[in-house]
């Protein structure tokens, strides 16, 4: 079944660090053609060297996806390199800061929404024609996977309400796209992490981190490598060809409402 991944063209936004980077590595291990994206390239030259030795092929495309035009250019650049798209993983995103409601201004709102909502909307819009065509040519489903969050189910922590509701928007619009594009053989699923040990949590005090661990039944943060296989499962027709419109929680047992 994993043979299906050889040569699969997988564009992963926000894959220069954290969950996206671990996911890129896993797809490369199984021979996929991977587009790596972040605001800049992969910082660690050892990782670049390691990726070069894996069975798959990769190219790096730096782009700030808060701008619609940059999303369009990223899709076109990836297709120019690999000839089409079989899987789009919308993973770029982030908290974008915390603010109590009464201090939120337009700049804060625009930043959080552009990062977590506009990027997913525009990347998917520009990728759809290629995903449709790849599904037609191969006769198997193609896939859009987006990174949601437990915050999209529970509203997010105090000061992170715009982020939490932006992720809820991502969860919800996938269900709309299922209705519009299932006829084209494109599947849409969400990977929804709980607390994963990445730069996302940098800057928190040890006391806050311990409180978070205490709220997780498994008693620890997850590793990016423990999230990556869920994308692989949902991207592979042979594993998940009849799964669409779902949210898969990867959270060590935190109860997602
Ligand atoms: P991370 O900070 O390590 O990764 C974020 C990635 O997004 C990086 O590659 C970064 O370059 C990229 N990025 C940020 N802004 C961008 C922009 N404007 N344009 C293009 N790329 C941009 O953090 P992570 O934890 O790996 O986050 C990945 C995803 O997981 C995010 O969508 C985040 O909201 C989500 N998430 C993380 C957690 C967690 O606990 N770590 C929990 C739930 C959801």
Residue 163 among the catalytic residues: yes
Q: Ligand 1 center to residue 7 CA distance, Å?
A: 26
For the chain, what is the mean pLDDT?
97
Confidence class of residue 1 from pLDDT cuts 50, 70 and 90?
confident
Q: Ligand 1 center to residue 96 CA distance, Å?
A: 10
> 178-181 — which CB contacts under 8 Å span 24+ positions?
178/244, 178/245, 181/128, 181/132
Return d(Cα 66, Cα 111) in angstroms, integer. Answer: 8
- Region 33-54 average pLDDT: 97
Return d(Cα 213, Cα 209) in angstroms, integer. Answer: 6
Q: Please count the structural domains in the chain.
A: 1
pTM, full prediction? 0.98
Neighbours of 165 (CB within 10 A): 18
Mutation test of ligand 1: which of 12, 40, 70, 94 has the most ligand atoms closer than 8 Å to its C-beta? 94
**3-state secondary structure string across 124-140:** HHHHHHHHHHHHHHHCC
In a domain, 61, yes or no: yes
Return d(Cα 194, Cα 257) in angstroms, integer. Answer: 12
In a domain, 257, yes or no: no
**Binding-site residues, ligand 1, Cβ < 6 A:** 13-20, 38-39, 64-66, 91-94, 115, 147, 149, 193, 195-196, 198-200
In a domain, 217, yes or no: yes
CATH number at residue 77: 3.40.50.720
Catalytic residue among 30, 130, 163, 231: 163
| Nearest by Cα to 14 from 111, 89, 67, 85 | 89
Q: Ligand 1 center to residue 173 CA distance, Å?
A: 19
Ligand 1 atom closest to Cα of 64?
A: 19
Strands 9-12 and 87-90 come out as parallel
Residue 182 gets which letter from DSSP? G
| pLDDT tens profile 88-142 | 999 999 999 999 999 999 999 999 999 999 999 999 999 999 999 999 999 999 9
Q: Ligand 1 center to residue 95 CA distance, Å?
A: 8
Confidence class of residue 168 from pLDDT cuts 50, 70 and 90?
very high
pLDDT at 255: 80
Where in the sequence is the domain holding 190, given as residue range(s)?
2-249
Q: Which residue's alpha carbon is nearest to atom 23 within ligand 1?
A: 200
Question: Residue 249 in 3-state DSSP?
Answer: strand
In a domain, 232, yes or no: yes
Of the listed ranges 149-153, 174-178, 201-205, the least confidently predicted one is: 201-205
| Nearest by Cα to 190 from 151, 225, 230 | 230
pLDDT at 256: 67
Confidence class of residue 257 from pLDDT cuts 50, 70 and 90?
low
Inform me whether the pLDDT recorded for 70 exceeds 80: yes
């Amino acid at each position: 079944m994993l043979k299906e991944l050889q040569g699969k063209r997988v564009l992963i936004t926000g894959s220069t660090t954290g969950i996206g980077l671990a996911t890129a590595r896993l797809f490369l291990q199984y021979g996929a053609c991977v587009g790596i994206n972040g605001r800049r390239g992969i910082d660690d030259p050892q990782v670049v060297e390691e990726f070069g030795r894996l069975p798959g092929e990769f190219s790096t495309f730096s782009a700030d996806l808060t701008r619609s035009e940059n999303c369009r250019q990223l899709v076109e650049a990836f297709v120019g390199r690999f000839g089409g798209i079989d899987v789009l993983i919308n993973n770029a995103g982030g908290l974008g800061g915390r603010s109590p409601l009464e201090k939120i201004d337009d700049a804060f709102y625009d930043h959080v929404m552009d990062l977590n909502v506009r990027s997913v909307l525009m990347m998917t819009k520009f990728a759809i024609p290629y995903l449709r065509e790849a599904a037609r040519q191969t006769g198997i489903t193609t896939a859009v996977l987006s990174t949601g969050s437990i915050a999209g189910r529970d509203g997010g922590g105090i000061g992170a309400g715009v982020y939490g509701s932006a992720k809820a928007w991502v969860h919800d619009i996938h269900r709309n796209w299922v209705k519009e594009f299932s006829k084209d053989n494109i599947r849409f699923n969400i990977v929804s992490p709980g607390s994963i040990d990445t730069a996302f949590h940098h800057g928190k005090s040890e006391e806050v981190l311990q409180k978070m661990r205490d709220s997780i039944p498994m008693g620890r943060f997850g590793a990016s490598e423990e999230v990556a296989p869920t994308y692989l499962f949902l991207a592979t027709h042979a594993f998940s060809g009849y799964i669409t419109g779902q949210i898969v929680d990867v959270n060590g047992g935190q109860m997602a409402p």
